[in-house]
Structure 1
Amino acid sequence: MRLFLSGVRTQFWLLRRQPDELLTLCTIPFTVVMMLSIVMHAARPDLVANAFLAPTLIGLWGFATGLATTVLVGERWTATLELGMAAPGAVHSVYLGRISAVMVLGVVPLGETWLLGRLLFGVTPEVHHPWVFWAAMAASVFAMIGTSLLLAASMLLSKNSNNYLNFLSFPVYLLSGVMVPVQYLPEFLRPLSHAIFLSWSADLMRDAMAVEAVTGAGWRLLAIVGLGAAALVGGRALLAAALRRARELGAVTYA
């Protein structure tokens, strides 16, 4: 826990020194305007909740791929990864703390979206089941931490990590149904969405904003947490393997 908290403090200190890392927040207004403009001009008030959730979850994923996932890659490019590997304590907890600090900030797009919806369009959706909504949001942040660690460890093995991260964004947005519910996708694509925790998050949070009672909230939350836990375990194992391989090869930084 001490190493984890040290990683959290380190990441917040780095963000204060390099506020440009938070540029993801500057892209959210454009997404909000685009989504809400489509919905409002189409006279579809029933889709307002979708238009609010899409920028929120897109922002959460943006923090993961734009900052959290690059924690390890950045360490390698700046030739500081070997310093962590040489430390007497395990570095896994430190990096997990840094990633967690980033993903906690991933909640900010939620408030940004609600504020812009009120200021620019004069609308904000009502959350009829707040405990379900916030439980789903908390579970999503946890799952995104695990997913970020898995992606970070994977990207550590490639020099072209940014290309892969850029490629992942739109397929994930589509398959997770952050704007268009999964049931409207081609049938052969739907099974793939079940492996992406954001599809469970989007569906559950949309249901939490509806008047009708939310069905199966418990097992749906469990699905989000379970996928996040699986990614966390996989990321921890892959990071250990990547660092072990670097020690065996005697090559940590890129040539």
Structure 2
Amino acid sequence: MRLFLTGLRVQFEVMRRQPDHLLTLCTLPFTAVILLSVVLHSARPDLVVNAFLAPALMGLWGFATGSAVEVVTGDNWSGTLEPGMAAPGALHPVYLGRIAAVMGLGVIPLGETWLLGGVLFGVTPTIHHPWVFWAAMAASVFAMTGTSLLMAAALLLSRNGGIYQNFLSFPIYVLSGVMVPVSYLPEPLRPFSHLVFLSWAADLMRDSASPGPVSAVGWRLLAVVVLGVVGLVAGRLLLAAVLRRARELGTVRYA
């Protein structure tokens, strides 16, 4: 826990000194305006909730594939990963703390979207089941933290990690149904959506805006958490394997 908290403090200090880590917060409002404009001018009030949630969840994923992943890959390319490997403490709780600090800021896009909707369009959705909404959001942040650790460890193995970072965005947006529900996807793609925790979270958050009861809340939240734990454990094991390989070869970077 001490190393985890150290990672939190370090990352908050890094982001304070290098605000470019927060560029996602500057680009996200444009996505929100586009989606809200399309939905409202198409006279589709039934999709307003989708238009609010999509930018928020896309922003969360953007933090994961951007700043969170670069916590590890950035240390690799700057040459600070090797000294960390020589430290007496384990590296993975420090990186997990740093990634958690980034993902904690991933909640901000939700507030941005709600603010823009109210100020520019005069519309904000009503959340009839707020505890379901916030439980799904909290589970998403947890799952995203573990998934980010897994992605960061995997990208350490590649010469061209940046290409894969960019590729990971739109397939996940489609499979998770953040804007278009999974039920509208082609039949062959639907089973794959169950492997993406954002699909469970997005459905729960949409259902929380409906006045009727939300079905199977516990099981659906459990699905998000379990997928997050799978990512966390896999990320921990893969990072350990990558660092062990680095010690055997004497370097963590490709020449």
TM-score by length of 1: 0.99
Task: Look up the match of 2:70.
Answer: 70
The one-letter code of the counterpart of 1:107 is V
Residue in structure 2 matched with residue 17 of structure 1 by the alignment: 17
Specify the alignment match of 1:227 in structure 2.
227
Q: CA deviation at 1:252?
A: 2.2
SS in 1 for 2:83: helix
What code does the residue aligned with 1:118 have? G
Q: Whole-Å Cα distance in 2 between the matches of residues 189 and 253 of structure 1?
A: 36
1:34 aligns with 2:34: yes
Residue 171 (structure 1) aligned with residue 171 (structure 2): yes
Equivalence map 1:47-86=2 (5 Å): 47-86=47-86
The one-letter amino acid of 1:62's match is: G
Distance 2:61 2:178 in 1: 11
Superposed CA RMSD in Å reads 0.6
Number of the residue aligned with 2:199: 199
How far residue 171 of structure 1 moved from its aligned partner, in angstroms, is: 0.4
Aligned match of 1:114: 114
Letter in 2 for 1:134: W
1:247 aligned partner: 247
Residue 160 (structure 1) shift: 0.5
How many aligned residue pairs are there? 255
Secondary structure of 2:252 counterpart: coil
Give a deviation string over 1:50-74, Cα, whole Å, max 9, x none: 0000000000000000110111110
Structure 1 residue 103 displacement after superposition: 0.2
Partner of 2:125: 125
Q: Which secondary structure does the structure 2 equivalent of 1:209 belong to?
A: coil
**1: CA distance, partners of 2:243 / 2:195:** 27
SS at match of 2:110: helix
Shift of 1:253: 3.1
Structure 2 CA distance for aligned equivalents of residues 252 and 188 of structure 1: 39
| Corresponding position of 2:187 | 187
Gaps of 5+ in 2: none
* C-alpha distance in structure 1 between counterparts of 2:115 and 2:158, whole Å: 39
Q: What amino acid does structure 2 have at the position aligned with 1:226?
A: V
Looking at structure 1, the residues matched to 193 and 91 of structure 2 have their Cα atoms a distance apart, in angstroms, of 33
CA contact (8 A) 1:71 1:95 kept: yes
What letter corresponds to residue 147 of structure 1 in structure 2? T
Asked whether the equivalents of residues 29 and 113 of structure 1 are also in contact (C-alpha less than 8 Å), the reply is yes
Code of the residue aligned with 1:104 in structure 2: it is: G
The reply on whether 1:2 has 2:2 as its aligned counterpart is yes
Instruction: Give the superposition deviation at 1:212.
Output: 1.1
Counterpart residue type for residue 43 of structure 2: A
Per the TM alignment, residue 254 of structure 1 is displaced from its structure 2 partner at its CA by 3.6
Q: Is the 8 A contact 1:117 1:123 kept in 2?
A: yes
What is the letter of the counterpart of residue 7 of structure 1? G
What letter is aligned with 1:215? S
Flag structure 1 segments of 5+ consecutive residues without an equivalent: none
- Give deviations 1:133-156, integer Å, cap 9, x for gaps: 000000000000010000000001
TM norm structure 2:
0.99
Aligned counterparts of 1:31 and 1:217: Cα–Cα separation in 2: 29
* 1:1-40 deviation line (CA, Å, top 9, x unaligned): 0000000000000000100110000111111111000100
The letter of the residue matching 2:201 is S
Aligned-partner Cα distance in 1 for 2:103–2:132: 20
For 1:120 and 1:148, the matched residues in 2 are separated by 33
Aligned partner letter, 2:209: M
